[in-house]
């Protein structure tokens, strides 16, 4: 019985594109894939194995952690710390970087991740995900520090996510397009089901947390007002709205059928430049979106050009269908001082 191409075959064929590849990168991708399978199993079992609910602790973001936030973080560390592919790891759930323990060999990559994004949904059984980004450790650095992670998104060698939804999927790019794999639970393998994913340039679907409306800047209010006006306004077409409060689910929907996702700069908390984190949410998702023909901007600049100033830096995010994001960016340009 023939199945589609397994992720392991896809990774090996990607490796063959680089004649002097050592296999380190392929090994790292396979280890990430294993971690996502383990997290998928925990998410799918949920209440059956007592992993739902709050851990009664807070992360560096000041967010209450779910038990599965902590468990998923530990799974990523356990699946990757011993392999010899990494110099260090960083996570939404850890204040500082995680150096590879001395008993293990170190490698040439840095892995940064949000182990369970959208976890506020986990107790109400709505889709959540894992987001990861792979950077190359600067040459000759044997003891990476946090500053070695502060590379712009253009320096990523891989951006990917796992979506724990009705199906568990893994979607990734290494700069050669975007491919999606569905986990066949019976054989425990990810199978290529969505080759060369491309985002439609136009859309009639926007995703934004409208409860923040009174805090938005003028260009965002202008854009959303025009969407809401539909055929009675300048857009002359009606729009639909979605908000899952799980970035992975929103981005995946946009990859499959188009759309625009916005978590823009707002003045709800003037101390925060945005809600979403640059290194392990905005950058990997921007890499994927751009590779799929979309655009990812803060409204004022390309997200992947930003040189990070901290592991947990937040940025505004406006990403998705090219023509819609271009329009929102143009509205920001219109009000430039």
CB-CB neighbours of 214 under 10 Å: 9
**Nearest approach, Cβ of 117 to ligand P6P (angstroms)?**
5
Q: Is 209 in the site for ligand P6P (CB under 6 A)?
A: yes
Return the closest-CA partner of residue 47 out of 125, 129, 164, 116: 125
- The residue range among 132-140, 155-163, 234-242, 244-252 that interacts with ligand P6P, by the rule CB under 6 A, is 244-252
Query: In a 10 Å sphere around its CB, with 0-12 CB exposed, 13-18 middle and 19+ buried, how is residue 186 labelled?
Result: exposed
Residue in the shown chain whose Cβ atom is closest to ligand P6P: 247
Q: Is 247 near ligand P6P (CB under 6 A)?
A: yes
To ligand P6P, the closest distance from the beta carbon of 135 in angstroms equals 21
CB of 274 to ligand P6P, least distance (A): 10
Question: Which has the closest alpha carbon to 118: 80, 162, 74, 153?
Answer: 162
Q: Which is nearer to ligand P6P, 114 or 189 (CB)?
A: 114
Q: End-to-end CA distance of the chain: give it in Å, rounded.
A: 63
Cβ-contact 265, 274 below 8 angstroms:
yes
Answer for which of 93, 117, 266, 290 binds ligand P6P (CB under 6 A) is 117
Our CB check for ligand P6P shows the closer of 185 and 209 to be: 209
- The answer to whether residues 106 and 100 touch, using CB atoms and an 8 Å cutoff, is yes
Which residues partner with 206 through β-bridges? 241, 260
Q: Which is nearer to ligand P6P, 158 or 276 (CB)?
A: 276
Q: How far apart are CA 29 and CA 282, in angstroms?
A: 20
- Does residue 246 belong to the site contacting ligand P6P (CB under 6 A)? yes
Q: Cβ(107)–Cβ(84) under 8 Å?
A: yes
Q: Tell me whether strands 168-173 and 189-194 are parallel, antiparallel or unpaired.
A: unpaired
Distance of alpha carbon 264 from alpha carbon 262, whole angstroms: 6
**Residue 276, interface with ligand P6P (CB under 6 A)?**
yes
> Beta-carbon neighbour count of residue 128 at 10 Å?
28
Residue span binding ligand P6P (CB under 6 A) among the ranges 12-20, 43-51, 151-159, 239-247: 239-247
The residue (of 55 and 229) whose beta carbon lies closer to ligand P6P is: 55
CB of 306 to ligand P6P, least distance (A): 18
Q: Of 67 and 275, which has the nearer Cβ to ligand P6P?
A: 275
How many residues of this chain interact with ligand P6P, rule: CB under 6 A?
Answer: 9
d(CA 333, CA 337): 9
Query: From the CB of 275, what's the least distance to ligand P6P, in Å?
Result: 6
**Binding of residue 185 to ligand P6P (CB under 6 A):** no
* 245 binding ligand P6P? (CB under 6 A): yes
CB of 172 to ligand P6P, least distance (A): 18
Nearest-angstrom CA–CA distance, 174 and 134: 9
Interface positions with ligand P6P (CB under 6 A): 117-118, 120, 209, 245-247, 275-276
């Amino acid at each position: 019985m023939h199945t589609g191409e397994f992720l392991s075959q896809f990774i090996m064929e990607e490796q063959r594109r680089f004649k002097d590849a050592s296999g380190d990168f392929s090994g790292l991708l396979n280890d990430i894939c294993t971690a996502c399978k383990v997290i998928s199993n925990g998410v799918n079992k949920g209440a059956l194995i007592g992993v739902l609910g709050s851990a009664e602790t807070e992360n560096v973001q000041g967010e209450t952690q779910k038990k599965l936030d902590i468990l998923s973080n530990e799974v990523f560390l356990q699946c990757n710390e011993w392999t010899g592919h990494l110099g260090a790891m960083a996570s939404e759930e850890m204040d500082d970087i995680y150096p590879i323990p001395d008993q293990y060999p170190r490698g040439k990559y840095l892995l940064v991740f949000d182990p369970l994004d959208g976890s506020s949904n986990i107790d109400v059984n709505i889709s959540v995900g894992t987001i990861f980004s792979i950077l190359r450790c600067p040459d000759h650095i044997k003891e990476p520090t946090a500053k070695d992670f502060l590379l712009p998104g253009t320096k990523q060698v891989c951006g990917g996510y796992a979506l724990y939804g009705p199906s568990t999927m893994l979607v990734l790019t290494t700069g050669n397009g975007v491919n999606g794999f569905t986990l066949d639970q019976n054989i425990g393998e990810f199978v290529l089901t969505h080759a060369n994913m491309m985002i439609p340039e136009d859309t009639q679907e926007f995703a934004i947390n409208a409860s923040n409306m009174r805090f938005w800047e003028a260009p965002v209010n202008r854009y959303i007002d025009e969407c809401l006006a539909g055929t009675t306004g300048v857009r002359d077409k009606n729009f639909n709205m979605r908000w899952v409060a799980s970035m992975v689910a929103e981005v995946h929907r946009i990859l499959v059928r188009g759309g625009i996702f916005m978590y823009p700069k707002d003045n709800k908390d003037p101390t925060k430049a945005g809600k979403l984190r640059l290194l392990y949410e905005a950058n990997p998702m921007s890499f994927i979106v751009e590779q799929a023909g979309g655009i990812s901007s803060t409204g004022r600049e390309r997200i992947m050009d930003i040189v990070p100033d901290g592991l947990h830096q937040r940025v505004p995010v406006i990403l998705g269908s090219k023509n819609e994001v271009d329009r929102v960016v143009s509205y920001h340009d219109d009000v430039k001082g």
